[in-house]
Structure 1
Amino acid sequence: MRRRLVLTNEAARHPFRRTLPPLAKARQRRDDDQDIRLFVLSFTAFFICFYTFLF
């Protein structure tokens, strides 16, 4: 039996999941983190603009 050393993930039980790279979950977390960063950046920019116009 030949095994692919790089492309398989032994923790995945389904044959399709074995073909996916093991870093797929890390990319999804990174995308979720970008949403939080965008929210914080937008909130900070709004606060600075509002504070500047107020004083």
Structure 2
Amino acid sequence: MKAMKRRALVLTDEAARHPFRRSLPAHVRLAPLDQEVQQDNALARLRWKMTGGDWQSFLQAYCASLVAMLVFIA
């Protein structure tokens, strides 16, 4: 007769997949679906969008640092 495996009592959610997420309580893992939270997320997405001016400033700073580094090395 095959020996039965002993398993520890599992108090975690196996559907969470990652060990850290598995250890979190269910109410922490579930995302709130409030209208207010959705509006906050939409506003945050708009704030973090890069516009043309942002890209231009980034490229200027990148090119300036590249030139400064090349001058320092040469």
TM-score (norm 1): 0.43
Rg bigger for which structure? 2
